Amino acid sequence: MNQVQLRIVLAVTLSAAGFVPVRLSAQAQRSPVAPRRELVESVVREAYEKFRSDTSGKNADYIPYLAQVDSKLFGVAVITTDNQVFTLGDVNYSFSIQSISKVFTLALAMEEQGPDKVFERIGSEPTGRAFNSVPAVVDMPTHTGNPLVNAGAIATTSLISGKDADERWSKILAFYGKVAGEKLTLIEDVYKSEAATNTGNKALAMLLAKYERIYSDPFESVDIYTKQCSVGVNASQLARMGATLANNGVNPATGEQVIKRDDIPYILATMTMAGLYDSSGYWAWHVGLPSKSGVGGGIVAVAPGKGAIAVFAPRLDEAGNSVKAQKVIEFVAQKLNYNLYSPSSVGLK
Ligand code: DON
């Protein structure tokens, strides 16, 4: 078999196996950072097979829509900073981004206000409590905690400027689209379901108002926040959003600088401390990657300079993090030597 025949056989085998073939650019082929294509492909497949029949955890049900999402859905996507794409499973299913949105509203708030103001107005301490904790708001000196828990996220959304709620919401949605490299849309049914049941978030916003830690109308901010959580993404789009963070804010598909390079370290640090809520310590210990989960079942993990792993699987653990997504990411990150704290991941012997 000659070289050309070999390539054809390989391409047919991989596409039959569910991998999306992607043409590598000249830049991609020169990349010093991306692991070998065959390695990523085999690791993603191994992880997918290993965990596909795992049924632990259960769908979020405090947002009624999420309770009826098919729990068997399972999609894995890895996108490298040189835009190599590896996908397997239900990667075209659009699920609600939920709390993962908080990362990107934080990026937009920093773009508008600068990191110092955001730090001063929101803070960045882990709460050690559930993502929607009322006691955390009362007890923490900042009240807002950090931009990734509900209270801090609603306050971060309240920082986004605009002449009215529509303009602020449109700005947020357009920004997410630039980070994903394609237009994203609201899943109306998720929004309606959450808007009808989000009394807890309204209570958090009122409490923040009492402490003067919310920066525009509290209920309007909750409404925009609810919309941002209801934005639909599939695993590939989520992986590209993560790869943009991994690529110093430059979307690897469009080449556009969409998040300020200087803001990236603050975003990644915040994700490390609070991205998986009260499991963030476990996650830093075992995985060592800034990551963010959402109760829609998505998790994205960012390997700076290398790429991102996004997994969608709706069943959650007690902390509100997808069980299967955690297992897959832990496995893939370990096999690809992505752990930030491992000396060999940064080239040390
Ligand atoms: O505000 C809420 O409760 C949801 N819209 C988002 C919570 C969430 O995703 C927590 N994540 N693991």
pLDDT in tens, the chain (349 residues): 444 343 434 343 444 444 443 333 333 444 556 678 899 999 999 999 999 999 999 999 999 999 999 999 999 999 999 999 999 999 999 999 999 999 999 999 999 999 999 999 999 999 999 999 999 999 999 999 999 999 999 999 999 999 999 999 999 999 999 999 999 999 999 999 999 999 999 999 999 999 999 999 999 999 999 999 999 999 999 999 999 999 999 999 999 999 999 999 999 999 999 999 899 999 999 999 999 999 999 999 999 999 999 999 999 999 999 999 999 999 999 999 999 999 887 777 7
> CA 1, CA 4: separation in Å to the nearest integer?
8
| CB 291 less than 6 A from any atom of ligand 1 | no
Residue 279 has what DSSP assignment?
A: G
Query: Does residue 99 line the site of ligand 1, with CB under 6 A?
Result: yes
Q: Which of 63, 96, 131, 322 to mutate to test the pocket of ligand 1 (most atoms within 8 A of CB)?
A: 131
**3-state secondary structure (DSSP) of residue 170:** helix
Tokens of 262: 């200087």
Structure tokens at 52: 């596909």
104 ligand 1 Cβ < 6 A = no
Number of CB atoms found within 10 A of residue 39's CB: 13
Residue nearest to atom 11 of ligand 1 (CA): 294
Task: Identify which of 69, 95, 98 to mutate to test ligand 1's pocket (most ligand atoms within 8 A of the CB).
Answer: 98
Cβ–ligand 1 distance for 187 under 6 Å, the answer: no
pLDDT of 32: 54
Ligand 1 centroid to residue 343 C-alpha, Å:
34
Q: How far apart are CA 203 and CA 218, in angstroms?
A: 10
Alpha helices in the chain (DSSP H): 3-16, 26-30, 37-51, 64-67, 101-113, 115-121, 134-139, 150-159, 165-180, 188-195, 199-210, 218-229, 235-246, 264-274, 280-286, 323-335
Spell out the residues 6+ positions from residue 49 whose beta carbon is closer than 8 angstroms to its own: none
Exposed, middle or buried: residue 188 (CB in 10 Å: 0-12, 13-18, 19+)?
Answer: exposed
Question: How many whole angstroms separate alpha carbon 124 and alpha carbon 115?
Answer: 11
Which pLDDT value is given to residue 8?
39
Which of ligand 1's atoms lies nearest the C-alpha of 229? Answer: 5
* 235 bridge partner residues: none
Instruction: Answer whether 345 contacts ligand 1 (Cβ < 6 A).
Output: no
At 190-208, the pLDDT tens digits run 999 999 999 999 999 999 9
Euclidean distance between CA atoms 75 and 52, whole angstroms:
10
Strand 298-303 versus strand 291-293 pairing type: antiparallel
Is residue 151 lining ligand 1, measured as CB closer than 6 Å? no
- Which helix (H) or strand (E) segment holds residue 19: the answer is none
Q: Is the CB of 297 under 6 A from ligand 1?
A: no
Closest ligand 1 atom, CA of 131?
Answer: 10
Cα–Cα distance measured from residue 181 to residue 243, given in angstroms and rounded to the nearest whole number: 11
